A and B are shown apart, each in its own frame.
Chain A
Amino acid sequence: MTDPLLEVRGLSRRFAAVDALKDVNFTVAAGEVHALIGPNGAGKTTFIHHLSGALFPDAGKIHFNGSEITRLRMHQRVRAGMARSWQITNVFLGLSALDNVALAVQGRPDAGTSFRFWRPVDREARLFEEARTFLEQVGLGERSGRLAGELSHGEQRALELAMALATRPQLLLLDEPMAGTGPEESARMVELIEHLARHVTILLVEHDMDAVFRLADRISVLVNGQLICTGTPDAVRNDAGVRRAYLGDHL
């Protein structure tokens, strides 16, 4: 097997007297959709925050794409090829959908510096041409001129995906992309993620088990800050420990 794209070794973090994460070992292989599940309060969001650089661990190491990123700041990790979405929608409501994605394109190192003071950004056609392709990928091509604040909730979630994609990540961290979406929007989001998975490695944190079992190549289960099991959906479904700790009351 080749080296994993993301490798986490011995990651631990305490908050006051609580072990939020305890000696977590975890890998994501290039090309897979890896889902992270666990009951509420298991430490999933804390874990994602450590991967994205919003929090730093007490112990342990994180390797990404062959180099260590444990102490890198969030923007440096993004530049190394890791993008994330949030549980809550996090787009610029006062900008159009296209402007939002163009802003993401603009932030990429190969798009050049943003220390440009004279030329209006609206005239930088290349940013917008590229942004349009990402909007089309998530099915928002028709809505590009709308203010993000006027989009539906599901559309805003899709827009957020387009922004994450526009950073050209190798790994996409999706933190509950279905949160707050209706059944119809959910179905569309699953399709969208399936489509994206052909181009990019995905780490998916999600409560919607139907979506998880449909999308994931491998699933890891986090309970009380500890990783209790990693395996294929079938293996996880049949794992006794998982059933006892978590899935028992869901499946």
Chain B
Amino acid sequence: MAFYRPARWQQTAALVVLAALLALPSLLDVLDQSYYIGFATRVLIFALAASSLNLVLGFGGMVSLGHAAFFGVGAYVAAICQQAGLGEGLLVLPLAMAVAGLFALAVGAVSLRTRGVYFIMITLAFAQMTYYLFVSASLWGGEDGLPVYERLRLGGISLAGDAALFFVVLGALTVTMLLFSRLAQARFGRTIQAIRENETRMEALGYPVLRYRLACFAIGGAVAGLAGALLANLSGLASPNLLQWTQSGTLLVMVIIGGVGYLWGGVVGAVVLLLLEEILLAWFAHWHIVLGLLLLAVVLFAPKGVAALFGRRDD
């Protein structure tokens, strides 16, 4: 795989899309299609979650099948805080990130001692453990999950309106992508990508490889936690289903469709997958069969994902 270098056309395209998205709520309002604001918010939240996995998988080279655990933990942290009456986003969102990130740090500390097939299975097992923990935690609603009755406020401004939440999510995604783009070019990004390419070589250059891997894993977990907290506010529920390993699989599918290790891979993948779902589900209730066949086709015929069709990462 190549190392990330910023491409000017991508930055320009991102700015254009950002401008269009800023106008989206008013546009949908005019067209009387406000339902789609919620859908667009959902897409952006998953873009955030998938991008956080892309950092771990694409840049760090760690095939984690447990990423949904951090996503779900973030959702629960938000729901628990908000039920307890703590509704200030400037507190709750960083707290969700911190808890999810620390949890990722603990999971990573055990699972990063292993490689390959082992690592995949262990991350999966830890995620499943977390899932069972929340399912059996009657204190937090058990299988029913924990409802969020009142959305967050941000600096005192309520996010009860769908447009307000949309703008906050858009802001979170924009800031995250900016940070990821810088991180990928900075020392840290250079280091984790080089570890992905050749771990032993990096160790022989004096790099404490495990520490960088672990940091990358934890940052990915923290950002997934942010996405989870936002999703709990959008859907009004922190559900154990968010932690299910099929959810990790879905995030993985998004990253692969979008292009593993391409900066925008997670975003592109989330948009493509959720749009496909929205369109195909209306047409064929068993759309997962279609999706499964599409994925098999991607594996067999387009191993680099959709983003790879648009251009090389090192343009």
Identify the A interface with B (CB < 8 A). Answer: 52, 54, 73-75, 78-79, 83-84, 90-92, 94-95, 99, 103-104, 106-109, 113-122, 124, 163, 167
- Whether the Cβ atoms of B186 and A103 lie closer than 8 Å is no
Neighbour of B200 across the interface among A54, A83, A95, A113, CB < 8 A:
A54
Q: How far is the CA of A124 from the CA of B208 in the complex (A)?
A: 21
Q: How far is the CA of A84 from the CA of B208 in the complex (A)?
A: 16
- Whether the Cβ atoms of A90 and B198 lie closer than 8 Å is yes
- Whether the Cβ atoms of A92 and B182 lie closer than 8 Å is no
**B275 neighbours in A (Cβ, 8 Å):** none
Sampled A-B contacts (13; CB under 8 Å):
A73-B203, A74-B200, A78-B203, A78-B206, A79-B206, A108-B206, A114-B190, A115-B187, A115-B188, A117-B182, A117-B189, A120-B182, A120-B186
**A78 neighbours in B (Cβ, 8 Å):** 203-206
Nearest CB of A to B264, in Å: 18
Q: How many residues of B contact A (CB 8 A)?
A: 29
Q: How far is the CA of A95 from the CA of B201 in the complex (A)?
A: 14
Neighbour of B209 across the interface among A75, A91, A108, A117, CB < 8 A:
A75
- Whether the Cβ atoms of A118 and B205 lie closer than 8 Å is no
- Whether the Cβ atoms of B207 and A92 lie closer than 8 Å is no
Indicate if B29 sits at the interface (CB-CB under 8 A): no
- Whether the Cβ atoms of A117 and B204 lie closer than 8 Å is no
Indicate if B202 sits at the interface (CB-CB under 8 A): yes
**B82 neighbours in A (Cβ, 8 Å):** none
- Whether the Cβ atoms of B197 and A122 lie closer than 8 Å is no
0/1 per residue, B200-222, Cβ < 8 Å to A?
11111111110010010000000
- Whether the Cβ atoms of A94 and B2 lie closer than 8 Å is yes
- Whether the Cβ atoms of B314 and A75 lie closer than 8 Å is no
Nearest CB of A to B110, in Å: 18
Q: How far is the CA of A62 from the CA of B204 in the complex (A)?
A: 18
- Whether the Cβ atoms of A107 and B202 lie closer than 8 Å is yes
Nearest CB of B to A117, in Å: 5
- Whether the Cβ atoms of A107 and B200 lie closer than 8 Å is no
**B21 neighbours in A (Cβ, 8 Å):** none
Q: How far is the CA of A122 from the CA of B197 in the complex (A)?
A: 19
Neighbour of B182 across the interface among A74, A90, A114, A118, CB < 8 A:
A118
Q: How far is the CA of A83 from the CA of B204 in the complex (A)?
A: 7
Identify the B interface with A (CB < 8 A). Answer: 1-3, 179, 182-183, 185-191, 194, 197-198, 200-209, 212, 215, 314
Q: How far is the CA of A167 from the CA of B189 in the complex (A)?
A: 20
Known: A116-B187, A117-B182. A107 touches B3 (CB 8 A): no
Nearest CB of A to B129, in Å: 29
Q: How far is the CA of A233 from the CA of B207 in the complex (A)?
A: 37
**A103 neighbours in B (Cβ, 8 Å):** 190-191, 194, 205
The residue of chain B having its C-beta at the shortest distance from the C-beta of A119 within the complex is B186
**A167 neighbours in B (Cβ, 8 Å):** 205-206
Q: How far is the CA of A47 from the CA of B191 in the complex (A)?
A: 29
Known: A107-B206, A115-B215. A90 touches B186 (CB 8 A): no
**B212 neighbours in A (Cβ, 8 Å):** 114-115
Nearest CB of A to B97, in Å: 15
Which of A73, A107, A108, A163 has its CB near the most chain B CB atoms (within 10 A)? A107
- Whether the Cβ atoms of A114 and B200 lie closer than 8 Å is no
Known: A90-B198, A92-B198, A95-B3. A118 touches B204 (CB 8 A): no
Known: A78-B204, A115-B215, A118-B186. A92 touches B209 (CB 8 A): no
- Whether the Cβ atoms of B201 and A90 lie closer than 8 Å is yes
Q: How far is the CA of A52 from the CA of B205 in the complex (A)?
A: 11
**B2 neighbours in A (Cβ, 8 Å):** 94
- Whether the Cβ atoms of B190 and A117 lie closer than 8 Å is no
Other A-B contacts than A103-B190, A106-B191, 16 sampled, CB-CB below 8 A, are A52-B204, A54-B200, A75-B203, A75-B205, A75-B208, A83-B204, A84-B204, A94-B1, A104-B205, A107-B205, A109-B206, A113-B187, A119-B187, A121-B186, A122-B185, A163-B205
Known: A103-B194, A106-B190. A117 touches B203 (CB 8 A): no
- Whether the Cβ atoms of B197 and A116 lie closer than 8 Å is no
Q: How far is the CA of A251 from the CA of B101 in the complex (A)?
A: 63
Q: How far is the CA of A120 from the CA of B1 in the complex (A)?
A: 20
- Whether the Cβ atoms of B205 and A117 lie closer than 8 Å is no
**A119 neighbours in B (Cβ, 8 Å):** 182, 186-187
- Whether the Cβ atoms of A117 and B183 lie closer than 8 Å is yes
Nearest CB of A to B216, in Å: 11
**A118 neighbours in B (Cβ, 8 Å):** 182-183, 186
Q: How far is the CA of A114 from the CA of B202 in the complex (A)?
A: 12
Nearest CB of A to B274, in Å: 29
- Whether the Cβ atoms of A74 and B204 lie closer than 8 Å is yes
**B182 neighbours in A (Cβ, 8 Å):** 117-120
The residue of chain B having its C-beta at the shortest distance from the C-beta of A53 within the complex is B203
- Whether the Cβ atoms of B190 and A121 lie closer than 8 Å is yes
**A91 neighbours in B (Cβ, 8 Å):** 201
Q: How far is the CA of A78 from the CA of B207 in the complex (A)?
A: 9
